Structure 1
Amino acid sequence: MKRYKKITVLLFLAVGCGLAATAQEAWDVDRCMSYAVKHNRTVKQRRLEADNYRLDRLKAIGSFLPGISASAGVQYNFGRSVDPETNIYNNVSTFNNSYAAEASMTLFRGGSLVNEVRRSKAALLLGKAALQEAQDNTALETFQAYIDALYYYGTIRLAEKKLAESDSLLYKTRRQEELGLKGRADVAQMEAQQATDAYNLTHQRNLYETAMLTLKQKMNYPAGDSLLLNTDILDIQTFESIRLTDEHPQDVLRIALSVNPTLRQSEMNKQVARMNRKIAWANVLPTISFYGGISSSYYKELHNHDYPDFKTQLDNNLGEYFGVTMSIPIFNRMSGSISLRQARNNYRIACEQYEAQKEELQKLVQQAVQDREGYLRESIQMEKKAASDSLAYHVTRRKYEEGLMTSLDVQNNAATWLESETLLLQSRLTYVMKCRLVDYYKGENIIKVKTEN
């Protein structure tokens, strides 16, 4: 029995360790973006709005179908009333009811039926573009927050490395002071540098916590839960193997003009405005409708049994009718002409917005391509500078230990080395983000791998 209990305990421990490992699994940027898109409130709203546009399209298509209605009425009269057969007043109690069914269909309404279907189709595409725009914006904002968090995680590692150097150098300086090779001023200078590096490490940790909180907010991730990021990109040793591309911004722009959801949304908004302008003509054109139906009734004086039965009266009173109506607007307080002018102005406004969005997209694409190439060049150059500054620092430190350099020289070289490493980290991460942004403008999905959570 005890043995089975031990096995059960071991199984529970194994399951618990597995859950803990899963909970601590590192999240890459694609997983974070996928989670953010799935839980974003704006994306959920845009998805519901797109569904409303779909329903509006079904409603517009249904306008071509005939409308069918049925009615039934029951009436009980007492006191003075009109005899429906003689049209004279009498003082009797009567009971009557009526039944009717009618169908009607609009044959012509100034072309608004067809244009309404076209407008609803453009509105549906607009809703889909708005949904895609919301998803892409959420993913891009999450990407930026992820890069910021990685940057501060990298600065923490650099600050820890710098603090370790300061601790080691302070220890050696104190030992040299005991041996009479260094003075108290050198020790004080190293202690001040070590305190500065300790403060910088604390400061970078605070910035990292703030960046992680921002990332969780962008993802709509529970702020109290832990989130472990995948930091493999920080371990890249060199970018020198990456070659500059000869890709022209116009080539990227040509693709972006056809796939960018923001521009697509502006284009569909222009189409909706154009259809609204055509629909506005219905206010000044005739409307032709066709209708037809059947009706019957039943009548009886209470306390009088000389009336035909219910079925007989329904058959005898059954009537059928059909007709065509045409409504011609003559004067509607100028609302028709005013609506036409307003619709025309709205269409022109939509056209201007579309052209402005094209110009804005061109600027964004050109800037993204230039930034990608520029940050790659910066990364390659900063790799060389960081390597040189690292060599200069270690040479200066060696000379300082031998008494050939001052503590101020060591501090200056250490600060230069740290600045180079920080700039290299920044340029590398920014280059990665710009590469993803250019690929997005080229029509690729911003999220490379979608992870279900």
Structure 2
Amino acid sequence: MNKKNLLHITLFLLSGWMGLEATAQEVWDVDRCMSYAVAHNRTVRQRELEADNARMDRMKAIGSFLPGVSASTGLQYNFGRSVDPETNTYNTVSTLNNAYSMEASMPIFRGGGLVNEVRRSKAAWLMGKAAWQEAKDNTALETFQAYIDALYCYGTLRLARKKLVESDSLLYKTRRQEELGLKGLADVAQMEAQQATDSYNLTHQRNLYETALLTLKQKMNFPANDTLQLDTAVLDTQTLHYIQLTQEQADDVFRIALNINPTLRQAELNAKVADMRRKISWADLVPSITLFGGISSSYYKELHSTSYPDFRTQFNNNFGSYVGISMSIPIFNRLSGVTGLRQARNNYRIACEQYESKKEELQKLVLQAVQDREGYLKESIQMEKKVNSDSLAYHVTRRKYEEGLMTSLDVQNNAATLLESETKLLQSKLTYLMKCRLVDYYKGEEIIRGLEETAKKD
């Protein structure tokens, strides 16, 4: 068995073993990685708890409309000189005094402050939910980008491995031809240099892939020491189902994003919260009315006397009730009411400006995503044609080199051109998938779904 056949058998067994190992390991696609990242992201958890706190504030604001009930009791022991409650004179005796009371109060008018507080708390709760959704979306998109970067590094690693196999094969043939007198030592040296370069490039690409995989694990909050086997099926797809998007459709995407984008939704609700606070500040300048009522009773006894009625009799005799209404009129509060109103008005205007700024920023992002999608679509189509042409040119040049009609430098140049084209095609295809997912996200579709469906959806 010659060295060429031995090399082929070794590579075949190695690729088969790697394929079995990859099959045995659990494969993680991009949607599973995004789901894991969202479930284990600490920022997402914080936003969820903040949204729950905002929900509690809303319940508290609704509870402000209900009557407030409080009860109190007290026990007092007096010794020495004290006032007799029956004769209102001073005596030198020891007495025991026990009092009970219960009061309820309910606001009648607060200048619209209670209603606006409920509206403000509801808007704040919705804003908290939008912030929670934004955190989940950003985490998913960042994980998607890290996944695409890892796939790209894995693809370049496969190209580097393929290039090294071809360099090993070509070096072996060149050495055999040199032994037969068909090639010179310069050709062998040139091929050895190219093989060494490809071996270095393979090591370099492997390091880049390990770094990209570690970055993906960090985005996912995945244990760094555990194995993360990526789903690389998309790399084996020869032709993607490209979808073109017209400018009119891009405008429709922006109109949809105006209503569902969580970042813009936060800015809109923040302006509403500021508006409610501006209206609440009016309550400090108008009177407030409160309705209240209650019951009370007491028990009194001289400790060294037995002539007092028992506890039940005194409790019934001293039992009383009352009801009333009170009005509080602000006259002068050291200008805090007027200044608070003006500050609330300015905060509302600031929130409106922030909303308009976010809307303009969102429009730029949507249009940029659409343009990038179209740009990488065209690049991918053109690069597919270029890869086919460069591959044909490389194989023709290699065949002519083996026949002695081309130099080793020609083979190296064509091989480098083919590798560069394949790398650019890989990058444009993966970036196109990323931009498809981003545009669909602006259209209101869920981020976490099947990766291969991204390029097929209209």
TM-score, with structure 2 as normaliser: 0.92
Segments of 5+ residues of structure 1 without an aligned counterpart are: 1-19
Equivalent residue number for residue 242 of structure 2:
242
Equivalent residue number for residue 7 of structure 1:
none
Segments of 5+ residues of structure 2 without an aligned counterpart are: 1-20, 452-458
Which amino acid letter does the alignment assign opposite residue 245 of structure 2? T
Moved more, 172-181 or 94-103: 172-181
**Counterpart-to-counterpart distance in 2, 1:99 and 1:63:** 26
Equivalent residue number for residue 62 of structure 1:
63
Q: Does structure 1 residue 390 correspond to structure 2 residue 371?
A: no
Whether the aligned pair in 2 keeps the contact of 1:296 and 1:319 (CA below 8 Å) is yes
Moved more, 244-253 or 108-117: 244-253
* CA displacement 1:287-340 (0-9 Å, x = unmatched): 110110011100000110001111111111111111111111111111111111
**Counterpart-to-counterpart distance in 1, 2:208 and 2:430:** 17
**Counterpart-to-counterpart distance in 2, 1:382 and 1:21:** 29
**Counterpart-to-counterpart distance in 2, 1:186 and 1:319:** 115
Equivalent runs, 1:236-315 vs 2, <5 Å: 236-239=237-240, 242-246=242-246, 248-315=249-316
3-state DSSP class of the match of 2:435? Answer: helix
Equivalent residue number for residue 99 of structure 2:
98
* CA displacement 1:74-111 (0-9 Å, x = unmatched): 00111121222223222110001000000001111111
Which amino acid letter does the alignment assign opposite residue 285 of structure 2? V
Which amino acid letter does the alignment assign opposite residue 313 of structure 1? Q
Whether the aligned pair in 2 keeps the contact of 1:98 and 1:297 (CA below 8 Å) is yes
Which amino acid letter does the alignment assign opposite residue 54 of structure 1? R
Whether the aligned pair in 1 keeps the contact of 2:22 and 2:229 (CA below 8 Å) is no
Equivalent residue number for residue 191 of structure 2:
190
Whether the aligned pair in 2 keeps the contact of 1:26 and 1:228 (CA below 8 Å) is yes
3-state DSSP class of the match of 1:169? Answer: helix
Equivalent runs, 1:76-87 vs 2, <5 Å: 76-87=77-88
* CA displacement 1:118-159 (0-9 Å, x = unmatched): 001111110111111011000000000000000000001100
Equivalent residue number for residue 376 of structure 1:
377
Equivalent residue number for residue 124 of structure 2:
123
* CA displacement 1:13-38 (0-9 Å, x = unmatched): xxxxxxx9998221111111011111
Question: Cα gap change, 1:188/1:131 in structure 2, threshold over 3 Å: closer, same or farther?
Answer: same
3-state DSSP class of the match of 1:425? Answer: helix
Equivalent residue number for residue 411 of structure 1:
412
* CA displacement 1:160-201 (0-9 Å, x = unmatched): 111111111111111111112211111111111111101111
Which amino acid letter does the alignment assign opposite residue 314 of structure 1? F
Equivalent residue number for residue 149 of structure 2:
148
Equivalent runs, 1:198-209 vs 2, <5 Å: 198-209=199-210
Q: Does structure 1 residue 321 correspond to structure 2 residue 322?
A: yes
Whether the aligned pair in 2 keeps the contact of 1:273 and 1:347 (CA below 8 Å) is yes
Residue 359 of structure 1 deviates from its aligned partner by 0.4
Whether the aligned pair in 2 keeps the contact of 1:29 and 1:143 (CA below 8 Å) is yes
Equivalent residue number for residue 3 of structure 2:
none
3-state DSSP class of the match of 2:306? Answer: coil
List structure 1 segments (4+ residues) > 4 angstroms apart after TM superposition: 20-23
Which amino acid letter does the alignment assign opposite residue 252 of structure 1? V
Which amino acid letter does the alignment assign opposite residue 152 of structure 1? C
* CA displacement 1:240-287 (0-9 Å, x = unmatched): x53523353111001110111111111111110100111111111111
Equivalent residue number for residue 17 of structure 1:
none
**Counterpart-to-counterpart distance in 2, 1:27 and 1:268:** 37
Equivalent residue number for residue 169 of structure 1:
170
3-state DSSP class of the match of 1:129? Answer: helix
**Counterpart-to-counterpart distance in 2, 1:326 and 1:242:** 71
Question: Cα gap change, 1:401/1:51 in structure 2, threshold over 3 Å: closer, same or farther?
Answer: same
Whether the aligned pair in 2 keeps the contact of 1:31 and 1:449 (CA below 8 Å) is no
**Counterpart-to-counterpart distance in 1, 2:254 and 2:108:** 46
**Counterpart-to-counterpart distance in 2, 1:22 and 1:110:** 69
**Counterpart-to-counterpart distance in 2, 1:281 and 1:367:** 44
**Counterpart-to-counterpart distance in 1, 2:414 and 2:116:** 72
**Counterpart-to-counterpart distance in 1, 2:351 and 2:290:** 34
* CA displacement 1:355-408 (0-9 Å, x = unmatched): 000001000110111111111111110000011111111111122222222221
The count of residues paired between Structure 1 and Structure 2 equals 430
**Counterpart-to-counterpart distance in 2, 1:125 and 1:21:** 45
**Counterpart-to-counterpart distance in 1, 2:253 and 2:157:** 37
**Counterpart-to-counterpart distance in 1, 2:270 and 2:196:** 60
Whether the aligned pair in 2 keeps the contact of 1:116 and 1:279 (CA below 8 Å) is yes
Whether the aligned pair in 1 keeps the contact of 2:245 and 2:370 (CA below 8 Å) is no
Which amino acid letter does the alignment assign opposite residue 261 of structure 1? P
Whether the aligned pair in 2 keeps the contact of 1:256 and 1:443 (CA below 8 Å) is yes
Whether the aligned pair in 1 keeps the contact of 2:191 and 2:408 (CA below 8 Å) is yes
Equivalent runs, 1:326-341 vs 2, <5 Å: 326-341=327-342
Whether the aligned pair in 1 keeps the contact of 2:68 and 2:105 (CA below 8 Å) is yes
3-state DSSP class of the match of 1:297? Answer: strand
Residue 410 of structure 1 deviates from its aligned partner by 1.3
**Counterpart-to-counterpart distance in 1, 2:159 and 2:232:** 14
Equivalent residue number for residue 429 of structure 1:
430
Residue 212 of structure 1 deviates from its aligned partner by 0.6
**Counterpart-to-counterpart distance in 2, 1:408 and 1:345:** 71
